[in-house]
Every structure is written in structure tokens, then in C-alpha cells.
Amino acid sequence: MPTLGSCSFYFPLKVSMAWVAVILAGGKGVRMRSRLPKVLHPVAGQPMVAHVVNALEGLELSRRLVVLGPQTQAVREQLGDGLSYALQPEPLGTGHALLCARDALDGKVDSLLVLAGDVPLLRAETIRALVERHVSSRAIITMLTARTQQTDGLGRVVRDGAGRVTAIVEEREATPAQRQIDEINSGIYCFQASWLWPNLAKLSKSPSGEFYLTDLVQMAVESGQGVESVEASSFQEVMGVNNRIQLAQAEAAMRQRVRERLMLSGVTIIDPLSTFIDASVEIGEDTVIYPNTTIQGRTVIGEGCRIGPGSIIIDSQIGDDCRILASVVEGSVLEEHVEMGPFCHIRPESHLGKRVHLGNFGEVKKSRLGPGVQMGHFSYIGDAQIGANVNIGAGTITCNYDGVRKNPTFIGDDAFIGSDSMLVAPLRIGARAITGAGSVVNKDVPDDMLAVGVPARLRAKGQKADDGQASAEATPEAQSGEDT
């Protein structure tokens, strides 16, 4: 909410004024050399056009309309139905794209905010400053500009002796002197709709065969109407991505921005340059991220965790005080105080309860491990439901696949699975049951029973073996044979 102290962020539009935002994304993006539409190329894990949409948050807009071409319809699937869409049947230029928006904008529109879909670093504050200037100046066009030495391919802002904007000249049409101009057009503008619509229809083709939106600036100046401009605080923020070199530059800048946001909110990042965190990730205070770590997608990490070095976390929820050392966690939930690593792989749809401990080389897939489960050394648990405080000895494997189906394994609370147990699913092992080291368990084990051998035979705990050898009431450590 705006406060008196931050009134520059207040968006002073009257409700009676209808504002719409139009995002142009109908171009082919040929310079990307890609099958994927340009604006869907991800930057810090999100399509660049999604960053542009996010930057509109907080503005009072009656509509957000995206102009798409026949080859960029996939954008609609990504952005969803919360936005409106218009079709530009052929990519005849930015001026033509905005003309295509017109028909889709039925109803009353007083002012338009027009943006390109390829400026992922644009910040909401900058858009607000542009809109505020447009409202306060009553100009018919207010454009966002920036200063840079990297002017290649960009439209230059031409001003008269008094510093007033007179035109935007595209690089292809610019004279050598105009090419020296270091103020560029960002491709982001506000327009007064009543002036825009009739004049947009008057645009003529440029020598390159496209209808340039930028030609409107000179038309406005020639008709004696004011064109205002706002200079962005950095060029980087309005940098359009046209090729994969610029994509990498945008990626680096966005990732640095994400790291800085997290560090300012209380996350320690030991080595920012080797830490890759998507814009969508949330991390709690006092969590420390060690080097060579990647955190992606819809991941939420709690407070006081230690993540990495060398961990990859994707689309997962990690509770407070977890430790994830050199491990991969995908699409899973970890409750508080879970520890793992080095070299664990938690695959999708897994749920690890409080204080679960996984040591070296553990793989868990689509399984639920109850609180306090211990699995110290090289084991595979797939399609299993494991109760509280179960010990899983070294080398234990759920043999969940019979060549046709994936079969489930159930293990009750406080069971003790000896080292190198092969649990042939479907299988149910009861609470407090024990499996002997090296056993191949292919039949259910009731609560409190012991299963030993290959294939495993059942005994009551404490019962002698058939051959008279002492066995059974072995301590769990002896059954496990495991060095913890």
C-alpha cells in the first residue's frame, strides 16, 4: 500500500480512466534461430514474456492484452486465460501489431501502455514512473528511453536543440550522425488512445517493408503535439533480447537480481556466481547456500537450512533446518530437520518426514518416509510407504518392478531392515519386524516377526534356526551388519 513517504510509487489514476497494457509478441524472433517463440525463451526459469507480465503487477489496468502471431500461439498456453489475446496474422512490424490489438480492445480505452515481450529485466517501478509522467504531462506519447554504448540494432532518439524529442530513427534508416546517438528507444510507451487509433492507421511502410510503431513519434511532433520521455536508470533494464548472446546477458543480470533479493532478505550465498536460483524460488532467513548449487522452479526452502555445495533442487518444498549436501531433490517435500547426502537423489512425489536421515547414495522415488527414518548407505526405495523410525540397512533395495508393473512396498513403524535386504514387491512388512542381512523377502512379514534367508523364511524373534544355529534375536546392529 502506498504511504505518504513513498508517494512516488502511488499510481494516481482515476477509476474513470481506462488503461490497458498491450504486450507485443507477434514477431517471429528470427534472430534467435529457434523453434521456440522468442518470448518463451526462459530467463531465470521463466519465459521472458512472463517477466514482462509480472512487471505490470500493481498497476490498475482494465485489461492486459498480448498480441500473438500464428507461430507464437504457444505463448497463450504458457500465460493462461488471465490475459486477453489478439492475433497478428502476419508479422508486418510493431505498428501493425498494435493495430491488430485495436479490434480486440472493444469498449472504452483512454490510455495504453505498450510494451515488447522481449524485455525481461524491466522493473515495475520504472513502468510506474513512465505512466505517472504520462498522466502528469498529458502528453499524447510518453516513451521510455535509455543511454548506452551498445546501440546495435536499436532505434535512436533524435532531439532538437532544446532537447525535445523529434523522432525515433531505426538503425537501418539512420544516418551515420544519427547512429552516434547514445540514447535509444526502449520500445515501451504510453499513448493517448484518442490520438493513437486514427494515426496508427495512417502509418506507411518503412523502406524495410514493416510498419514501424516508432514513426508515430515524428507524426505526433509534426502535428504540434507533445511527446514526453522518461530515461530508465539503466540500459540493462530495458535491454531487448533479440539473439542468444543477449539472452545470456539477460540471464546473468536476472540471476544476480534474484540473488541480491534473497541476500537482502537474510539468505547467505557463499559464492553468488556459482549459485543459480530461479526468480520463482523462495528461501527463508538464515539459510546458507553453498557453492555450485542450482535451485529451480516452484521451490520453497525454509529457514536455517544448509543447501549444497553441489546440490540441485527442483520444484520442491524444504522445511526448516534441513541439510542437503551434494544431492538432487526433484518434485518432493522434505519436512523439518531432514538431512541427506552426499549423493542422494530424491525423485518426484517423495515425502520425507521430520528428522529423516539419508547418508551416502540414497535414491528415493514416489515414496513416503515417516519421521525419523534412517537410511545411511546406498539404498533404493521406490513406490514405498515407510513408517516412523524405520532403519533401512546399507544396500537395501525395493524390487518394485516386475518387468510389467511398478509394485508397492509397505513397511510398518519401527521395523528394522537388515543390510542388503531385497524387498520383492508387492510386499508388506509389519511394525517392529526385522529382516536379516542379505535376505530376499518375497512374502509379507507380519508385525514383530523376523524374516531371514534366500528366499526369506519367517520366524518369531528369538526362535532358533532349523539347523540349530543360533540366530534370530540378534541385535539390530548384527542383523544390519552396518557400520554407521
- Residues acting as catalytic residues: 377
Contact mark string toward Ca ion, 83..122, x via CB under 5 A:
-----------------------------------x----
Residues between 215 and 244 that touch Ca ion (CB under 5 A): 240, 242
Comparison of 240 and 372: residue with beta carbon closer to Ca ion: 240
Phi/psi at 25 (5° precision): -145, 40
Report d(CA 194, CA 328) in Å as an integer: 56
Q: Which of the choices Ca ion, ligand UD1, none does residue 214 contact, using the CB cut-off of 5 to 8 A by kind?
A: ligand UD1
Residue whose entry in the numeric block shows the C-alpha cell 502471431 = 69
> What part of residues 98-137 is at the interface with ligand UD1 (CB under 6 A)?
116-118
* Contact flag: residue 154 with ligand UD1 (CB under 6 A): yes
Report d(CA 153, CA 172) in Å as an integer. 8
CA-nearest of 139, 106, 101 to 23 is 101
Nearer to ligand UD1 by Cβ, of 239 and 441: the residue is 239
Q: Is 183 one of the binding residues for ligand UD1 (CB under 6 A)?
A: no
Residue 377: strand, helix, or coil: strand
Is residue 24 within the footprint of ligand UD1 (CB under 6 A)?
yes
The minimum distance between CB 332 and Ca ion, in angstroms, equals 39
| Partners of 417 in the β-ladder | 392, 435
Q: Cell triple for residue 136?
A: 502528469
Smallest separation (angstroms) from Ca ion to the CB of 132: 25
Among 32, 79, 139, 213, binds ligand UD1 (CB under 6 A): 213
186 binds ligand UD1 (CB under 6 A): yes
Cell 535414491: give the residue. 363
CA distances from 290 to 309, 330, 360 (A): 5, 18, 18
Our CB check for Ca ion shows the closer of 39 and 392 to be 39
**25 or 423: whose CB is closer to ligand UD1?**
25
CB of 118 or CB of 420, closer to ligand UD1: 118
**Per-residue DSSP letter, 465:** P
Residues 128 and 130: their CA atoms lie apart, in Å, by: 5
Query: Is the backbone peptide bond immediately before 207 cis, with ω within 30 degrees of 0?
Result: no
Minimal distance in Å, beta carbon 137 to ligand UD1?
21
Count the residues of the shown chain that bind Ca ion, applying the rule CB under 5 A: 3
Rounded CA separation 92/444 (Å) = 70
Count of Cβ atoms closer than 10 Å to residue 101 Cβ: 25
Cell of 59: 498497476
Q: Which residues bind Ca ion (CB under 5 A)?
A: 118, 240, 242
Q: Which residues bind ligand UD1 (CB under 6 A)?
A: 24-27, 39, 67, 88, 91-94, 96-97, 116-118, 154-155, 168, 170, 184-187, 212-214, 240, 242
